[in-house]
Structure 1
Amino acid sequence: MVQVTFKETPMTLIGDEVKIGDKTPDFKVLDNNLQEVSLSDFKGQVKIISVVPSVDTGVCSEQTKRFNDEAEKLGNVKVLTVSMDLPFAQKRWKNENGIKQIEIFSDHREADFGINYGVLMKELRLLARSVFVIDNDDIVRYTEYVSEGTNHPNYEKALEAVRKIS
């Protein structure tokens, strides 16, 4: 069972932990135009899913910008960021920060992603910082549930996992 803290306070994660080798759980989220998107929309592609509590905060912003910068170098890898932010706020943040290489999705409506990936923090109704690398057959090849929500993920390990399968 994954255990995480947020500002050193233990959090209860809702949903089951996703493990390396698992078939990737499907999910439904909203794009910045309020259109529903699911995992099947990216079928046949290698994917990095970067999960942040809120793109409009320090570490989350840096994490999203870092994966945006890396996406350009990764070629045919789809990089997705998921948070509980409203789609309108995500779109504003994306435009203000010149984010063009990745897509940002909102899980605010049903917390479907959060529950299916075991990252919904019950106490805050935010998503726990995490990274998932998924191959083109939708098999999980790397996971990181960041133990303290205010810390950065291990970018190099996630990128190394992507390079091995892309």
Structure 2
Amino acid sequence: MATVTLKGNEIHTLGNLPENGSQAPSFTLVKTDLSSASLSDYKGKKVVLNIFPSIDTGTCAQSVRQFNQEAAELKNTAILCISKDLPFAQARFCGAEGIDKVETLSDFRDGSFGKSYHVEFTDGPLQGLLSRSVVVVNENGEVIYSEQVSETADEPNYKAALEALMDA
């Protein structure tokens, strides 16, 4: 179990993120067109997993905007914005915001992503949603950077995640 906070109050997740150097756990998530996407679909690319509770909160929305802006500069990189929001909400948000360089994916069907990456909240007001985290995976499927944001209301360290991409 990992401990983070939400506005200073402790809440817990299933555990710790995958360690650097380990193989990223496989997953199957739902795209906005309701088809499936798996980690294996991105084989040979660098992958940023931008994980968050809900696209309909200010900090989560900002992380999607920020990664969308940064993605324009990245070669051979997929940025996946992952939450348990319904794909319809994700598509609505991206359409309204003009976001087109990241891909939103949903863990709403079975919650297996949150469990395998240990980011599912186990208690508190966000129980069942995903903890704000970033995991960067290299072309070989190895984790090269991870951050579970200690205060859920804060944004992730974009600079550190992007530097990990550049160093890979």
Q: What is the TM-score when the length of structure 2 is the normalising length?
A: 0.94
Q: Which residue of 2 aligns with 1:119?
A: 119
Q: Secondary structure at the match of 1:73?
A: coil
Indicate yes or no: 2:55 matched with 1:55. Answer: yes
Q: Which runs of 5+ in 2 are unaligned?
A: none
Indicate yes or no: 2:23 matched with 1:28. Answer: no
Q: Secondary structure at the match of 1:74?
A: coil
Q: Tell me, yes or no, if the aligned pair for 2:27 and 2:39 is still in contact at 8 Å.
A: yes
Q: Which runs of 5+ in 1 are unaligned?
A: none
Give the Cα separation in 2 of the matches to 1:16 and 1:141: 15
Give the Cα separation in 2 of the matches to 1:66 and 1:10: 27
Number of residues paired by the alignment?
165
Q: Which residue of 2 aligns with 1:138?
A: 141
Deviation (angstroms), 1:50: 0.4
Q: What is the TM-score when the length of structure 1 is the normalising length?
A: 0.95
- Letter of the 2:39 partner, please give it: L
Q: Tell me, yes or no, if the aligned pair for 2:67 and 2:79 is still in contact at 8 Å.
A: yes
Q: Secondary structure at the match of 2:89?
A: helix
Q: Which residue of 1 aligns with 2:69?
A: 69
Q: Tell me, yes or no, if the aligned pair for 1:30 and 1:37 is still in contact at 8 Å.
A: yes
**Deviation readout 1:88-141 (Å, 9 max, x if unpaired):** 111111100101001000011111111111100022211000001100000000
Q: Secondary structure at the match of 1:50?
A: strand
Deviation (angstroms), 1:16: 5.0
Q: Tell me, yes or no, if the aligned pair for 1:14 and 1:119 is still in contact at 8 Å.
A: yes
Give the Cα separation in 2 of the matches to 1:4 and 1:35: 32
Give the % identical residues.
39
Q: Which residue of 2 aligns with 1:160?
A: 163
Q: What is the aligned-residue RMSD (CA, Å)?
A: 1.2
Give the Cα separation in 1 of the matches to 2:64 and 2:14: 23
Deviation (angstroms), 1:34: 1.1
